[in-house]
Amino acid sequence: MTDQSQRQPLGHEVIQGYLKTIDSSPGVYRMLDSESRVLYVGKARNLRARVSNYARPAGHSGRIARMIANTASMMFLTTKTETEALLLEQNLIKQLKPKFNVLLRDDKSFPNILVTADHDFPQIKKHRGAKKEKGSYYGPFASAGAVNRTLNQLQRVFLLRDCSNAMFESRTRPCLQYQIKRCSAPCVGKISPEGYRQTVKDAEKFLCGKTTDIQARLASEMNAASEQLEFERAAALRDRIKALTQVQTAQGINPKGVSEADVIGLHMQDGLACVQVFFIRANQNWGNKDYYPRVGVDVDAAEVLEAFIGQFYDQRDPPPQLILSNQVENPDLMADALAGKLGRKVELVVPKRGEKADLVDGALRNARESLARKMAESATQTKLLKGLAEAFELPAPPQRIEVYDNSHIQGTNAVGAMVVAGPDGMMKNQYRKFNIRGEDLTPGDDFGMMKEVLTRRFKRLLKEDPDRTEGHWPDLLLIDGGAGQVSAVATIMRAFGVEDIPMVGVAKGVDRDAGKEEFHRVGKRPMALRHNDPVLYFVQRMRDEAHRFAIGTHRAKRAKAVGATPLDDVPGVGAGRKRALLAHFGSAKAVARANLSDLKAVDGVSDALAETIYAYFHELG
């Protein structure tokens, strides 16, 4: 029997003890459980006043009462201002993912359009990630699809190149883009540098919403060309005006009175939430994206929206205006925090009428419909997980299923892939790829590849989460293969001392037909599911997703290998010098054969680098 006196105290009495040691400064507090896991991160204008609220034994919502009951210790960090506390709170929430906080679960970066500035004929392209490349960035766009549609429009109207600099330098005649009137072919002199620079300026004006001036100038140029009997040029300008008109017509849903803002609509139902964000830039709707933050049944809309905004703009710049469906808990504080990040005023607006209210209504309608679809999908997924548990005699419906597959061509460019499924469907942010490194593997040795993948996966799990508290351990393994594969995986698991995770091998079965799969488990006879069983379709979808991911990873690796040259391994030779060497000599083989004086003659290659390149190839030879 456990000695009651040795139990670690929990709850409001523990919290009460901290009131003696904290003052009235603004700051951030963390509530931790008996195993030092962070339960909640909060901010306060007055730490002592906020903590004294938690020290009361009653008067809390169900969620807060549960959190207090589990609290064994607290941590505090004071700040100079409440705004600093707000920013620190959101950073810690994203980093620690506490159980009782509202948590934004999808935090991918958004794509932008980049007009490069490192070339006489700038390239226009999609860009995602850190803005390190020189040029002008326009965005964010809600998705890659929204960027691609806009790039397509820009190419039709302004005929800008989208090819890489290396491709541009190697052209000797116009490519297909020129033939279908999507590029002005600056690579072969079909347009002057001055003319191309003007079209770049026009494209940038278009991305800033200044389309009227462009249309008027193009019309003037068309009339002038017609009067000078340059009918071919006049026809080309006419086609560009027509394309621009079509773009403007397609953008008829764009707001006239909102130039740059994010429209954010929140819908909550049955303890679930959906946030829709619409991106308005240059009076154009650049797409929308839905989010499903983790909330509870007793969290109000103001808290959810404040947490969402704080985390959403933690790593990205806000626009000058946020148009919201609900007010946040601390609007002035949030506006100050965002203004400090952007470097200019940020306004939070909750409109009641007019165009902005219409935009919010659209965001709310999308949020409501998206949440309804999500709830229907979740109900179906719950049913499928329950059916899966019954079919394979699992102790409970699995919350995390890991599916493994390999891909290679006769053993070359071999990769392993892991996809993950759970109550919310396929968890793409949990997918992992493994470059097969085993040098002693026989080409095409699927058993050996699977052994390497599983060994690396579980070695990492045991190192990073030995107590299985972080939610990264699977409840079920699905392996592409039959009894042999399952037996091999079981051996690997035993070697790691992990024997409590069920595994199922999915073999193609008779005639390798979908629908006739056989399922293999350790120590049990092979089994099959009914041809029309929804669980069978569910397993097939997961297996096919793993196969798709493995094939895609393998193709990407193979494509990279095809483009590789021996120059990639030469110290000091980056992409630019590699291009210069290939342009000068024609091939990597010719570079390897070149003498030292020829290498020194290449533009951008110093004498020291020429000696490095020469020594590298001659030492190899």
Rounded Cα gap, residues 31 and 78, in angstroms: 15
Return the SS3 of 133: coil
Q: How far is 480 from 506, CA to CA, in rounded Å?
A: 5
- Tell me what the mean pLDDT of segment 414-439 comes to: 86
What's the per-residue H, E or C state across 178-211?
HHCCCCCCHHHCCCCHHHHHHHHHHHHHHHCCCH
Q: Which two tokens stand for residue 220?
A: 């003037």
Q: Does pLDDT of 131 surpass 80?
A: yes
Q: Hey, is 414 helix, strand or coil? A: strand
Distance CA 156, CA 247 (A): 10
The mean pLDDT value of the chain amounts to 84
The residues facing 280 across adjacent strands are 261, 285
Which position has the higher pLDDT, 67 or 555? 67
Residue 350 confidence class, pLDDT cut points 50, 70, 90 = very high
pLDDT: is 518 or 449 the higher one? 518
Amino acid, single-letter form, for residue 357: A
What local confidence, expressed as pLDDT, does residue 511 receive?
55
Between CA 255 and CA 138 the distance in angstroms is 18
Q: To 5 degrees, how large is the angle CA 72–CA 25–CA 345?
A: 115
Identity of the amino acid at 248: Q
Residue 348 and residue 364: Cα distance in Å, rounded? 17
The pLDDT value recorded for residue 520 is 92
- What is the Cβ-side half-sphere exposure of residue 226, based on CA atoms within 13 angstroms? 11
> Please, what's the b/e burial string for 256-293 (b: 16 or more CB within 10 A of its CB; e: otherwise)?
eebbebbbbbbbbeeebbbbbbbbbbbbbbbbbbbbbb
Q: 223 falls in which pLDDT band (50, 70, 90)?
A: confident
Q: What would the two tokens of residue 579 be?
A: 């291009």
Give me 242's structure tokens: 């027509």
* Backbone conformation region of residue 378, classed left if phi is above 0, alpha if psi is from -120 to 50, else beta: alpha
In this prediction the pTM is 0.68
* Interatomic CA distance for residues 272 and 300, integer angstroms: 11
Q: 547: left (phi > 0), else alpha (psi -120 to 50), else beta?
A: alpha
Distances (CA, A) of 563 to 471, 585, 588: 39, 17, 11
Query: Does residue 619 register a pLDDT over 70?
Result: no
Strand order in the sheet with 27-32: 38-44, 27-32, 73-78
Backbone dihedral angles phi then psi of residue 210, each to the nearest 5 degrees? -95, 70
- pLDDT above 50 (res 251): no
H or E stretch covering 390: helix 354-391
Facing residues of 44 across strands? Answer: 27
CB 85 within 8 A of CB 30: no
* CA–CA gap between residue 303 and residue 14 (Å, rounded): 26
Res. 243: pLDDT tops 80? no
What tokens does 386 get?
């329950």
Nearest to 207 by CA among 153, 159, 249, 128: 153
Place 44 in a pLDDT band, splitting at 50, 70 and 90: very high
Residue type, 394: L
CA pair distance 73, 90, nearest whole angstrom: 21
pLDDT score recorded for residue 221: 78
Q: For residue 153, what are its two tokens?
A: 């429009």
**Position 71 confidence tier, pLDDT thresholds 50, 70, 90:** very high
Residues 6+ apart with CB under 8 A from 348: 322, 324, 327, 328, 331, 334, 335
The greatest distance separating any two alpha carbons of the chain, rounded to the nearest whole angstrom, comes to 102
**CA gap 42, 100 in Å, rounded:** 10
**Model confidence at 248, in pLDDT bands (50, 70, 90)?**
low
Top pLDDT among 183 and 582 is at 183
Helix (H, G, I), strand (E, B) or coil at 531: coil
Q: What is the pLDDT of residues 353-372, one digit of tens each?
A: 999 999 999 899 989 988 98
Answer whether residue 157 shows pLDDT above 90: no
Whether the Cβ atoms of residue 489 and residue 506 lie closer than 8 Å to each other: no
> Buried b vs exposed e over 207-223: b needs ≥16 C-beta within 10 Å?
bbeebeebbeebeebbe
User: Average pLDDT in the 329-351 region?
Assistant: 91
pLDDT of 107 reads: 63
Report how far residue 233's alpha carbon sits from residue 579's, in angstroms, rounded to the nearest whole number.
35
Q: What is the mean pLDDT of residues 465-489?
A: 87
Q: Which domains occur in the chain, in start order? A: 4-96 (3.40.1440.10), 112-250 (no CATH), 260-373 (3.30.420.10), 401-560 (3.30.420.340), 566-620 (1.10.150.20)
Average pLDDT rounded to a whole number, residues 87-103: 88
* Per-residue confidence (pLDDT) for residue 309, from 0 to 100: 94
Whether the predicted pLDDT of 515 surpasses 70: no
pLDDT at residue 119 in the model:
87
- pLDDT at position 405: 87
Strongest mean pLDDT among 65-74, 124-133, 174-183: 65-74
DSSP assignments along 95-120, one per residue: HH--TTS-B----PPPPEEEEE-SSS
Q: Which two three-digit tokens encode residue 541?
A: 């979808």
Reported confidence tier of residue 464, pLDDT bands at 50, 70, 90:
confident
Cα–Cα dist 533/498, whole Å: 31
CB 450 within 8 A of CB 479: yes
Q: Indicate the residue type of 91.
A: N
Structure tokens at 183: 């590029």
Q: What pLDDT is attached to residue 26?
A: 92
